[in-house]
Structure 1
Amino acid sequence: MNPGGEYARDSRYITTRVTADGRDGFPVEPGRYRLVVSRACPWASRAVIVRRLLGLEGVLSMGIAGPTHDERSWTFDLDPGGRDPVLGIERLQEAFLARDPGYDRGITVPAVVDVPTGKVVTNDFRQITIDMSLEWTAYHRDGAPELYPPELRPEIDAVNEVVYKDVNNGVYRAGFAGSQESYAEAYERLFARLDLLSERLQGSRYLVGDTITEADVRLFTTLVRFDAVYHGHFKCNRRKLSEMPVLWAYARDLFQTPGFGDTVDFDHIKKHYYLVHSDINPTGIVPVGPDPSGWLEPHGRAALGGRPFGDGTPPGPVAPGEEVPAVPGRS
């Protein structure tokens, strides 16, 4: 938070890439890297979804940090002994300091860690999912969807840019605003963009083209947190997602698509925001609601056509050990 001013996200990420040709020194190799995430974090949740949609579970292992963290970093308190079983570390910070002992930027998820050295390779969340689609193709499952098709990339990039500025980061600009004026400006931009997205999606099942793409993944991870966190905690309260008919149906459609809702842990999401942001919620009380069962209500979006996975197929069952608590009514 910037008292008296506008919230600005620290975007100084480690931009080293894991590529098919290893041009940055880190070639794609099965079992070499570990994707560290928190189910609480919308940026990390993108990587969780894309990894599952593409079927990379068997070649890119995943470490799941707990939903809360302190000023030092995310911790592996969900694991026995509080240590990641593959990396052997208690805090993600250790992987960043192994890469750069003087590292002084954000310890963020998602992060890709080189298992042999224990050093973080990248935490550039925007590039991580694109590289999963383009650089890991040799290890995609049979029937993996094309989330970043060449002919649609300019449009996907353009949509992603405005969604990031006004929605993905817009909720944070409202929630962490340091003045009434900066909050109001972020609030107006957020809902103006949501109105435009509603218009776009009224006659189209997906954001770009007739299949799920990277653009849908990026919008979904904000929408799925909207009523549970952003509406109240971040004061994004013109109306709830469940009161925006088009976006609510669109979000339910994705939630009910294999690879989306089966990666969402509402308990982790609420604990993170309401416990970590003590300046916004000093009591540390975590809301009991809202009732998540509404996510399973019929959405009617199939009437718009579209093919969720294009020429591909849905992903199979969630990998053992990666299951999330079931929403009431979901087996």
Structure 2
Amino acid sequence: MSTTPLAAVPDVRRTAPFFRGRIGQDARSGHYAVPHRYRLHLSTACPDGLRLAVGHSLLGLGGSCPVTHLPAVPDCPAGGHAALRPLYEASAHHYTGPALAPVLSDDWSGRIVSTHAPDILRDLDRFPAAGRTSLYPRGTESVIEAVERMCAEGVEEAAQRAGRAGAGPAERAAALDVLLDTLGRLDRRLTGEEYLVDDRLTAADIELWVALVQLDTVHRCHLDASAVHRIADHRALWAHARRLAARPDFGRHLDLDGISRRHHGRCLGLEAAGAAVQILDWAGHAAAVQDVPRPPSDGS
């Protein structure tokens, strides 16, 4: 197992969500892990939705917790998805805010349990299922949380700052340094290893994979070609992304057209030369797994 340290950084990725219920392990929690009670509502064009779709597949929960797929571009005039408005309105009196995804809902009550993606994946991991291992193995929680924070601040936010329109050259260069430093640490962690944590597939690998999808399909469009070539020069990191993309539980959820439409519908940045320097052939991997029968999920 690699011993390259994963330094913790402050978790500033998400603001506090409006709904943050938790699924407990017994009836005393109010929401407890029972089959056919809960439903996921997500768009795989959204990073949080893609994380949850991959985790849901790896956990083999298709028969016990169904998924409602939402369009890539929100379609509600008040913000978010029109299909989610009844859930929001049933869950909060006179709710007027946006109906945002992802959502974990309770089919028994018709209300929302949570809109906080990290909690949702951890709670799905509690669902009973024979023959699979956990995405959050006991004793690995702190390392997984460190990877989550690194991907949030050191990859996603740093890449956004490095390509932000209106930012000065010094600000963009400093953000690129943070991005490359983070990628370098993760690359060293994966050198000679198949997975990030404890020689097994965990939520840390899902987190990193989604961050790399975003980096190559969205953020590089606002970077110069030199920066993208330096990003691509982390061979262990991109080999890891390529291996996971070839697995049906990952690659079958890639909605590249949806990611592009969501990006262009929200983005205010300017396209740069890095847009022409694709790092991985995501479309090829996605096409390769479309007709591959999905094996029973064993969490490996």
TM class, shorter-chain normalised? Answer: 0.7 to 0.9
Deviation at 1:178, TM superposition (A): 6.1
Deviation at 1:12, TM superposition (A): 1.3
Higher relative helix content: 2
Which residue of 155, 168, 176 maps to 1:187? 176
Deviation at 1:27, TM superposition (A): 2.0
Give the distance between the partners of 2:33 and 2:104, measured in 1 at CA: 12
Whether the 8 Å CA contact 2:43–2:72 is kept in 1: the answer is yes
Give the distance between the partners of 1:175 and 1:105, measured in 2 at CA: 30
TM-score, normalization by structure 2: 0.78
Deviation at 1:165, TM superposition (A): 2.0
TM-score, normalization by structure 1: 0.71
Whether the 8 Å CA contact 2:256–2:283 is kept in 1: the answer is no
Which residue of 67, 71, 91 maps to 1:66? 71
Deviation at 1:47, TM superposition (A): 1.0
Give the distance between the partners of 1:9 and 1:293, measured in 2 at CA: 28
Deviation at 1:72, TM superposition (A): 2.9
Q: 1:190 to 1:117 in 2, by over 3 A?
A: same
Which residue of 212, 236, 245 maps to 1:223? 212
Give the distance between the partners of 1:104 and 1:170, measured in 2 at CA: 32
Aligned to 1:18: 23
User: Runs (4+) of structure 1 moved beyond 6 Å?
Assistant: 234-237
Give the distance between the partners of 1:190 and 1:165, measured in 2 at CA: 9
Which residue of 119, 124, 134 maps to 2:116? 124
Which residue of 84, 93, 98 maps to 2:90? 98
Give the distance between the partners of 1:67 and 1:40, measured in 2 at CA: 5
Q: How does 1:171-320 map to 2 (within 5 A)?
A: 171-174=159-162, 179-180=167-168, 182-233=171-222, 238-239=227-228, 242-277=232-267, 279-280=268-269, 292-293=282-283, 295=285, 315-316=295-296
Whether the 8 Å CA contact 2:39–2:104 is kept in 1: the answer is yes
Give the distance between the partners of 1:187 and 1:27, measured in 2 at CA: 43
Q: Structure 2, unaligned stretches of length 5 or more?
A: 1-11, 287-293
Deviation at 1:256, TM superposition (A): 1.3
What is the RMSD of the two structures over their aligned residues, measured on CA atoms? 3.0
Aligned to 2:7: none
Give the distance between the partners of 2:33 and 2:192, measured in 1 at CA: 39
